[in-house]
Structure 1
Amino acid sequence: MKQFLPLEEGDFYLSEEGYKVFTEQYHLKRGYCCESNCKHCPYGYKTRLKRK
C-alpha cells in the first residue's frame, strides 16, 4: 500500500498551465519510480514514447 506523504516547500511548483510539477526532492522523498516519465525523475526512467 502506498504511503501518504504531506507536501512540503520545494516538493512541487505550478507550471504555466497550472499543473503541479513534482521536483526531484519529492521523488527522492517518495522513494520509488512510478514509471510515469516525470520531468524531474531522479531514477532515470525513460519511456519509448516521446512527449510532444
Structure 2
Amino acid sequence: MPSIEKLHQQACERGEDTYVDPATGYQVLTSQAHLKRGTCCGNVCRHCPFEYINVPK
C-alpha cells in the first residue's frame, strides 16, 4: 500500500485537489487545494499549509 505522503505527492504532481485515503476510502484534500482556499479552516486538515493557525488550542 502506498504511503500517504506518496499519494499526496502524486496527486499534487498531477494537479489534483484530492486523493483517496487507502485506509478509509475518504477523499483527502491536498495542500494545493488548501492554498486555493487561501486560509486555514481550523479543522486540523492533514496537509494544511497554513500551520494550523485557526485550530483552537
When normalised by structure 2's length, the TM-score is: 0.61
Superposition deviation, residue 38 in structure 1:
0.4
Provide the alpha-carbon RMSD of the alignment.
1.5
CA distance in 2, matches of 1:13, 1:34: 19
Question: Paired residue for 1:38, among 27, 39, 45?
Answer: 45
- Within 5 Å, which residues of 2 pair with 1:1-52? 9-16=15-22, 17-45=24-52, 48=57
What is the CA deviation profile of residues 1-52 of structure 1, one whole-angstrom value per residue up to 9, with x for unaligned ones? xxxxxxxx5100010111010000000001111111101000001665xxxx
Asked if structure 2 preserves the Cα contact closer than 8 Å seen for 1:37 and 1:47, the reply is: no
Bigger share in helix: 2
Listed as ranges, the gaps of 5+ residues in structure 2 are: 1-14
| Percent identical residues | 47
Listed as ranges, the gaps of 5+ residues in structure 1 are: 1-8
Aligned residues: 40
CA distance in 2, matches of 1:47, 1:24: 20
Amino acid in structure 1 at the alignment position of 2:51: G
